[in-house]
Amino acid sequence: MSTSSAPRALRQSASSNDEVSIAPAALESSDLVLEVKDFSVDYGWGERAVRAVRNVDLDVHRSQVLGIAGESGSGKSTLVYAVTRLLRSPAVISGGDARLFLDADKNTGSDVRTVDLMRASERELRSIRWSQISIVLQSALNALNPVLRISAEFDEVLKTHRRDMNRHQRRARAVELLELVGLNEDRLARFPHELSGGQRQRIMIALALALDPQLVIMDEPTTALDVVTQREIISELRDLRARFGFAMVFITHDLALLVEIADEIAVMYAGTIVERAPAASLHDAPRHPYTLGLLNSSPPLHGKHHELVGIPGSPPDLAQSLVGCSFRARCPFALERCASETPPLVAIEDGGRMVACWLHDGSATNLPEALRREVSLSKRAAPQPRATKEVGS
Amino acid sequence: MRMLLRRLSLYVVTAWVAITANFILPRLMPGNPVETLIGQLQGRVSPQQVRAIQLAFGMGLKQNIVQQYFGYLGQLMHGHLGVSITLSAPVSSILRSAVPWTVGLIGVSTILSFLVGTIAGTMLGWTRGSRFDSLIPLTTFFQAVPYFFLGTVMLLIFGSNLHWFPVLGAYSSNLNPGWSWAFVFSLIRYGELPVLTIVLSSVAGWMLGMRNMMITMVAEDFVLMAVAKGLPRRKVIMHAARNAVLPSVANLSLAIGLVVSGALLVELVFNYPGVGNLLLQAVLNEDYPLIQGIFLVITMTVLAANLLADVMYFVLDPRTRTEAAV
């Protein structure tokens, strides 16, 4: 790898390779990469605007994998694309702040700095795009220009952001990146349609890492792949993250898959975050009824299969102004106050996790058993028990 | 490569069919075309002309049809297309003097129209919904007006009344054709109005085609990726345009095929000495060898342009190469 990744790689070397132990709770706020505050996105204007993202707070720490889960239309992709300023009309960012905290970058010679993403100029945005935030899309076939060879994709990115590199260096870097994702350099001469889905997605990942970004956004990177390839890519991503220490925002509707890779998971519903917790806690002991429903409706990657149960009903119409809890119509445990008061996202259980549900405000007398499960102590200590388990299996 | 060779062999077969049809058609006409022609010339015909007519149709040599056919093919191989009856000159040399005018006029107009339309369409597609969209009804209006009518009106207004452009002919009659600056300048001056007419009447097609493809392409993930990569706007547009232009390129090759048959009416309106004018004269005078020769040239250019379209597509879109790769 290039010298630029050395500091981040060093930071990682403190922990053993197979267990990346960065407890979210232990992270200082100065370790933030991305901070999103009170963020709202609408589609359209005025009365008929669809409020796709509503007052979301989100932060991503260095080297953290933050998973964002939710069903289609929950606003998870909209949120991330809006924050990175990639959304197009008619989407309107109707409020909120998003700031990117950047390390010193030896490649570009830039110092530690903060970028206000909502106020950044076009020029400033261009300079941080890909060099600091890169993105991997769901369908690599569509994300790669069909008439360009793979080498051209790498060349273009390096040419734009690394003016100091000559042709041979760019080529060498592309070969090096392909090796990282386990592909032979002869793939460089290929066109996208000549490669398999797994190879294309690996190329997208290699491309995303080309400039040593501090944040990589994965928008359902494995959804279009078969289960075996999915598993391979997830484990490769985990290794790459451990090696280079980039932070990741991993968007998917597949909660079971997310538990495999994420340190922390935020569950979105109807444009808001309803629960946020360390991955294992969220998986083993969900606190929000919607999280519980999501878990019951997807097969686990490990362990015993349970009977899959869907969540009855459908998400609310986001063009309407929502009063009360947006999930109450589908919630089996809905209380009276859910209809009139919107539950805030508050810290529960010693601040280790957050949930937006009236059942957990301390006043509920008969909390359903399913939302009361305990997380074992060992699991709570290590936020990534899955990673350890993985090595053994 | 194999695919290209296969296409090529297909074109050879098509060309052979076209040539054969060109040979057979006159022979299917009722009566003897040679006698019809001689009759039409009403005695004002020299023995050389009779001989020429007979040679053109492969007659008078006491050959059977098969021998005639191969004789005809042999003549073609050597570039002999027969002798024009009315102009008393070899068809090939007549064509040689007419084709450059048409290719120049229509070729330049076609390429200009393609370039202007494609660039305008790219920008319109990129800035969809902006005020530039009002260009569309304007250009489609010019497309809707028959181009010979548009040409006549332009000739009347800008040529006869305003004297902005010279009218009639391809160059000033005071000059002799040759590679002098004065002649080239005159050529351009005289070409402006017909070129403008053709460009105006055809630019909407290129523009709309490109705009619609651009709108589709702009929504593609790889364009989003280009933005996410932090590329300058120009390069982002190029990502989309490079893909959007593919159908236009295919259409351009086909349009080039029609360059020779050309805008017959434009040539008439502007009195341009090209193939269109020649064809009209040939038809009016029933100059069969000339008609035959012109048709042959037209057929061959259309075929060549089709081949060009195939090759261009092959070069520009790697996906068309898959068949050969797999």
Residues A368, A350, single domain; the answer is yes
CA A196, CA A184: separation in Å to the nearest integer?
Answer: 14
Query: Any bridge partners for residue A136, and if so which?
Result: A218
CA A182, CA A299: separation in Å to the nearest integer?
Answer: 29
Residue B86 belongs to a domain: no
For residue A84, is it left (φ>0), alpha (ψ between -120 and 50) or beta? alpha
Choose the mutation target among A127, A138, A145 for the interface with B, i.e. most B CBs under 10 Å.
Answer: A145
- Structural domain total, chain B: 1
Domain termination site, one of A267, A286, A309: A267
Residues A137, A95, single domain; the answer is yes
Place of tokens 């003016």: A163
- Mean pLDDT of the B242-266 span: 81
pLDDT at A277: 92
pLDDT at A27: 41
- Mean pLDDT of the B237-261 span: 85
Residue B210 belongs to a domain: yes
Q: How confident is the model at residue B322 (pLDDT cuts 50, 70, 90)?
A: low
Q: Do the beta carbons of residue A381 and residue A17 sit within 8 Å? A: no
Bond prior to A192 in cis (omega within 30° of 0)? no
Residues A263, A278, single domain; the answer is no
Residues A105, A189, single domain; the answer is yes
CA B29, CA A69: separation in Å to the nearest integer?
Answer: 78
- Cross-chain Cβ contact B228/A84 below 8 Å: yes
pLDDT at A276: 93
Residues A110, A236, single domain; the answer is yes
- Show the tokens assigned to B104: 């120049």
Residue A262 belongs to a domain: yes
pLDDT at A7: 41
- Cross-chain Cβ contact B221/A137 below 8 Å: yes
pLDDT at A379: 45
Q: What is the largest CA-CA distance in chain B?
A: 81
- Structural domain total, chain A: 2
Residues A50, A138, single domain; the answer is yes
- Cross-chain Cβ contact B227/A86 below 8 Å: yes
Residues A296, A202, single domain; the answer is no
Contact map slice: A 168-207 vs B, CB within 8 A: 191, 193-194
Residues A238, A383, single domain; the answer is no
Residue A105 belongs to a domain: yes
* CATH number for position A232: 3.40.50.300
Backbone angles phi, psi at A263, to 5 degrees: -80, -45
Residue B2 belongs to a domain: no
Residue A22 belongs to a domain: no
For residue A205, is it left (φ>0), alpha (ψ between -120 and 50) or beta? alpha
Residue B252 belongs to a domain: yes
Alpha carbon A179 to its chain centroid, in Å, reads 24
Residue B263 belongs to a domain: yes
Q: Inform me whether the pLDDT recorded for B241 exceeds 70.
A: yes
Residue A21 belongs to a domain: no
Hey, is A318 helix, strand or coil?
Answer: coil
Residue A23 belongs to a domain: no
Give the count of alpha carbons within 13 A of B244, CB side only.
33
Q: Do the beta carbons of residue A55 and residue A272 sit within 8 Å? A: yes
pLDDT at A186: 92
CA B112, CA A60: separation in Å to the nearest integer?
Answer: 53
Residue A214 belongs to a domain: yes
Q: Do the beta carbons of residue B228 and residue A128 sit within 8 Å? A: no
pLDDT at B57: 60
- Cross-chain Cβ contact A129/B224 below 8 Å: no
Residue A140 belongs to a domain: yes
For A102, the domain range is 3-8+32-267
- Cross-chain Cβ contact B228/A161 below 8 Å: no
Identify which has the larger pLDDT, A330 or B167: A330
pLDDT digits (tens, 9 = 90+) for B201-227: 889 899 999 999 999 998 889 999 999
Backbone angles phi, psi at A326, to 5 degrees: -70, -15
Residues A278, A239, single domain; the answer is no
Give pLDDT tens digits along chain A (393 positions): 344 434 443 333 333 344 444 444 444 446 889 999 999 999 988 778 888 999 999 999 988 999 999 888 888 989 999 999 988 778 888 888 999 998 876 666 667 788 898 988 988 899 899 999 999 988 877 899 999 999 999 999 999 998 889 999 999 999 999 999 999 999 999 999 899 988 999 999 999 999 989 999 999 888 878 888 888 899 999 999 999 989 999 999 888 888 889 999 999 999 999 999 999 888 888 889 999 988 888 776 666 677 778 888 888 888 877 788 889 888 888 888 888 888 989 888 776 789 998 888 777 666 777 787 776 544 444 444 333 333 333
Contact map slice: B 188-227 vs A, CB within 8 A: 220-222, 224-227
pLDDT at B118: 94
Domain termination site, one of A267, A288, A313: A267
- Over the Cα atoms of chain B, what is R_g? 24
CA A103, CA A271: separation in Å to the nearest integer?
Answer: 31
- Cross-chain Cβ contact A130/B229 below 8 Å: yes
Question: Under 8 Å CB-to-CB from A314, ≥6 apart: which residues?
Answer: A330
Residues A263, A279, single domain; the answer is no
Residue B196 belongs to a domain: yes
Q: Inform me whether the pLDDT recorded for B197 exceeds 90.
A: no
Tell me which chain B residues have a C-beta less than 8 angstroms from the C-beta of A135.
Answer: 225, 228
Residue A372 belongs to a domain: yes
* CATH number for position B150: 1.10.3720.10
Residues A287, A201, single domain; the answer is no
For B180, the domain range is 100-316
Residues A246, A160, single domain; the answer is yes
Q: What is the pTM of this model?
A: 0.77
Residue B307 belongs to a domain: yes
CB-closest option in B222, B224, B235 to A86:
B224
**Mean pLDDT for all residues in chain B:** 81
The Cα-based distances of A265 to A2, A19, A345, B82, B169 in angstroms read: 31, 18, 14, 84, 78
Domain termination site, one of A224, A251, A267: A267
pLDDT digits (tens, 9 = 90+) for B114-143: 999 999 999 999 988 778 888 888 888 888
How many residues appear in chain B?
326
CA B200, CA B290: separation in Å to the nearest integer?
Answer: 32
Given the DSSP bridges, would you call strands A91-102 and A113-116 parallel, antiparallel or unpaired?
Answer: antiparallel
